[in-house]
Amino acid sequence: MQYQDTMFSPASGSRAALLDLVQMLTGLALVVFMYLHALFVASILLGPQVFNTLADFFERYYLAQVGGPLLALVFLIHFFMAARRIPFSQQDQKKVLSFSRLLAHRDTWLWTVQVVTAMIILIMGAIHIWVVLTDLPITADKSAARIQTGFWLGFYLLLLPMVELHVGAGWYRLGVKWGVIKSSARKKAKRAEYYITGFFILLGLITLARFMFVSVS
């Protein structure tokens, strides 16, 4: 089965290679950011004061004000680069599903997982970024109040595994595609992906639970 760039077709070989490079770089940047972001939010486990100190550092040096819009830009660029190979038509989607079942290969299913989670993250991630950036400064009180009210706990309980599954599959597939993960090392890399993804999902769940018990003034 042959897929064409759905949003930028037809593309020359050099142009397609350049777009693949941009996709790789933005994807790698988002992987690093999401893991660091998870660790930052988890600082609430050390207490609201630690969380607020870190948040204040980001505010003081405009890392939130500048980094937030920059993150949104990288997020959108990465999506548009990846969207070149996403089957949007129902016919193509059926072909991909049939092809994945026929191969019964884990790496093929990983691509399907990435596509599905990407669609969810595109919407939910945009909502999260907008809510945070329009309610600066970031504080433990604000974050806890948001999670403790309305539908936000359910929102993050869904967003958390979607992000971690997408990120885990992403860095693994990047390593395979660009030759960093050799065939002989795939088994170990897959195991590492399982452990890292599981760790960050568990960390996220514990973090959400901690926010539920932060006293909101």
105 is in an annotated binding site: no
Report the first-to-last Cα separation within the chain, whole angstroms. 58
Beta-carbon-side half-sphere exposure of residue 47 (alpha carbons within 13 Å): 3
Distant-in-sequence contacts of 151-155, Cβ < 8 A, 24+ apart: 153/208, 153/212, 155/124, 155/127
Cβ atoms 48, 140 nearer than 8 A: yes
128 is in an annotated binding site: yes
Q: What is the CA radius of gyration of the chain?
A: 19
78 is in an annotated binding site: yes
Contacts of 125 (CB under 8 A, 6+ apart): 75, 159, 163
Annotated binding site: 37, 78, 128, 166
Annotated binding site for heme b: 37, 78, 128, 166
